[in-house]
Amino acid sequence: MYHVKHEHPFRRGYNAIIEEDERIDNAMMDFGILLLQAGECHECHLGKERAFLLMRGSVTFRFKGCERRAGRRSLLEESPAVLHVPQGVLVQIVATTDAEIAVMRTQHETTFE
């Protein structure tokens, strides 16, 4: 079991919790929390497969010429909104309100739509 220890509140931007290459518990993935303020845009273009789980707030996901809006007020009372992309796809996340997003990333060469 991996225990998250964070001495300070998360800051704006990406906050790493575990990295794929860490040997602790062999997580085999990156996991972190992305905090965005309303109007802020985050770009991610990595050679890793990625999933972005909107936990709270409203955002617009832009990827592969598509644009999808998502909103969520409650992590527990509403269905999840997730963007899942293969490696190398440019993703832009534009926050229309303050937003909190869980980010999972891993090495995976398979491509998919």
Q: Using CA atoms in the order 42, 72, 100, 33, what is the torsion angle rounded to 10 degrees? A: -100
Q: For 80-106, how does the pLDDT look when each residue is reduced to its tens digit (9 = 90+)?
A: 999 999 998 999 999 999 999 999 998
pTM of the model: 0.86
Helix (H) or strand (E) holding 100, with range, is strand 99-106
Report the alpha-carbon angle 62-85-22, nearest 5. 120
- Alpha-carbon gap, residue 103 to 57, rounded angstroms: 15
Q: For 7-44, how does the pLDDT look when each residue is reduced to its tens digit (9 = 90+)?
A: 678 888 899 888 877 666 666 788 899 999 999 999 99
